[in-house]
Amino acid sequence: MAPLRSPLDYGFAGGGAVGHANVRHQNLALLSRTIYAADAPPTRAALASATGLGRATVSRLIQDLLDSGFAHEQDPGGATGRGRPGTPIAPAARTIAALGLEVNVHFVAGRALDLSGNTLAEFRLDSADVESDPAGTLRLLGRSAAAMATNLRATGTEVIGARLAIPGLLNAHDQRLLVAPNLGWSDLDPLAMLGREWEALGIPTLTRNDGDLQSLTAAFQRPGKLLTDGAFMYIFGDVGVGGAIVDHGVPLRGAHGWTGEVGHTTVHADGLACRCGSRGCLEAYAGQNALRRAA
């Protein structure tokens, strides 16, 4: 059997089995999504019914997912009724993990989650040098993340990817940070600055605005299971005020990447100065520092 990557690498098939040359990978993705989204672990028969795939195809592909550590069989338990009970198929625990990394105004942090949503490892390092030393801050994050990933690999857990959350405007094409007002950073390549220890591990890594990534926790109950299939606006407050507009589980970027950045909406013409360089932004009145001054 050819080695499997994450089903996410192939995109989730929507609405049923597909019939083109990539049929195996698409059907693996379809089965994976169905398993992850189920309220209770489904049997092979239930998966065949839900996906429209034949039972023989489901059995063969489920074996691939079991062998590759994406799923595992559960005890049927005290099933009643005629015939042999089906075996429930659930997301595997502690076999595969992804990392979430974060740069904030006063700290860097990381967390590893497995396919069942369990936290396998995490760290948070407070730093007073985030604004003055972006290179040192990102090296610290990269070094700490590399140590966590190395420890996970030593226990047999495969780390298949990472996402870096930064409170700033990023170029969607080359992952460069254009500006992060509250960090005091601009025009740098955060992924390239994570350091040699992280680069040596070869873990696929992407970066995105922190509001976009946070909004996914409100959009999804778990991988593959949307809480809502409509559109909504997510707003959060920390040092700054940010947000995202999410449609069918996808944060919208907009033409210039500012979609959801409500903190930099002008609420008072010629008002208080904002760290973004403008005046009268909502963040200047409702951000953490503004609230402390008003308290």
Q: How far apart are the first and last CA of the chain?
A: 63
* DSSP 8-state class, residue 266: B
What pLDDT does residue 221 have? 87
Mean pLDDT by 10 residues, the chain (295 residues): 43 46 88 94 97 96 97 81 82 97 97 95 95 96 99 98 96 93 96 98 97 94 85 92 94 84 92 93 93 89
Q: How far apart are CA 159 and CA 98, in angstroms?
A: 6
Q: For residue 87, which of 32, 39, 54, 42 has the smallest C-alpha distance? A: 42
What pLDDT does residue 255 have? 78
Residues of the chain with CATH 1.10.10.10: 7-77+84-91
Task: Quote the tokens at residue 258.
Answer: 């500012």
- The H or E element that residue 98 is part of is strand 96-103
Assigned architecture for domain 7-77+84-91: Orthogonal Bundle (1.10)
Report the CATH superfamily, name and number, of domain 226-294.
ATPase, nucleotide binding domain (3.30.420.40)
Class of domain 96-215: alpha beta
Task: Report if pTM > 0.85.
Answer: yes
Please say whether the beta carbons of 189 and 199 come within 8 A.
no
Residues of the chain with CATH 3.30.420.40: 96-215, 226-294
